Amino acid sequence: MQRTLIHHVTIVNEGRQFLGAVIVEGEVISAIVEGEVYNLEDFDTVIDGNGCYLLPGVIDSHVHFRDPGLTHKADITSESRAAVAGGVTSVMDMPNTNPQTTTLEAWEAKMENFAQHSLVNYSCYFGATNTNYDLFDKLDKHRVPGIKLFMGSSTGNMLVDRKESLRHIFGGTDMLIMAHCEDQHTISENTAKYKGPDGDAPISMHPMIRSEEACWLSSKLAVELAQETGTRLHIAHISTARELALLSDEPLTQKRITGEVCISHLMFNDTDYQTLGAKIKCNPAVKSMGDQVALQQALNTQRLDTVATDHAPHLLSEKQGGALKAMSGMPSIQFSLNCMLELVDKGVISLDTVVQKMCHNPALLYHIEKRGFIRPGYQADLVLVRTNTTWEVTPEVLQSKCKWSPLEGHSFNWKVERTFVNGRLAFADGAPIEDIRGEELTINH
Judge if 33 and 165 occupy the same domain. Answer: no
Residue 338 lies in a domain: yes
Residue 395 lies in a domain: no
Supply the range of the domain harboring residue 285: 58-365
- CATH number, position 316: 3.20.20.140
Residue 445 lies in a domain: no
Q: What is the DSSP string of 429-444?
A: TTEE-TT----BPPB-
- The pLDDT score that the predictor gives to residue 155 is 63
Residue 405 lies in a domain: no
- 194: helix, strand or coil: helix
C-beta separation of 266 from 377 below 8 A = no
- The pLDDT score that the predictor gives to residue 163 is 87
- The pLDDT score that the predictor gives to residue 156 is 63
- CATH number, position 417: 2.30.40.10
Judge if 257 and 378 occupy the same domain. Answer: no
Residue 300 lies in a domain: yes
Where helices occur in 153-298 by DSSP H, the ranges are 163-171, 184-194, 206-209, 212-229, 263-267, 273-276, 289-298
- Provide block-wise average pLDDT over 10 residues at a time, the chain (445 residues): 97 98 98 93 96 98 98 98 99 98 98 98 97 96 97 77 91 96 96 97 98 98 97 98 98 97 98 98 98 98 98 98 98 98 98 98 98 98 98 98 98 98 98 97 91
pTM: 0.98
Judge if 248 and 123 occupy the same domain. Answer: yes
Question: Within a 10 A sphere around the Cβ of 16, how many other Cβ atoms?
Answer: 11
Judge if 275 and 379 occupy the same domain. Answer: no
Residue 237 lies in a domain: yes
Q: Which contiguous run of DSSP H or E holds residue 33?
A: strand 28-34
Residue 441 lies in a domain: no
Judge if 195 and 231 occupy the same domain. Answer: yes
Residue 396 lies in a domain: no
Name the domain count of the chain.
2
Judge if 25 and 94 occupy the same domain. Answer: no
Judge if 217 and 317 occupy the same domain. Answer: yes
- The pLDDT score that the predictor gives to residue 154 is 66
CA neighbours closer than 13 Å in the CB half-sphere of residue 75: 9
Judge if 184 and 262 occupy the same domain. Answer: yes
Judge if 65 and 189 occupy the same domain. Answer: yes
Judge if 78 and 49 occupy the same domain. Answer: no
Strands 382-386 and 53-56: antiparallel
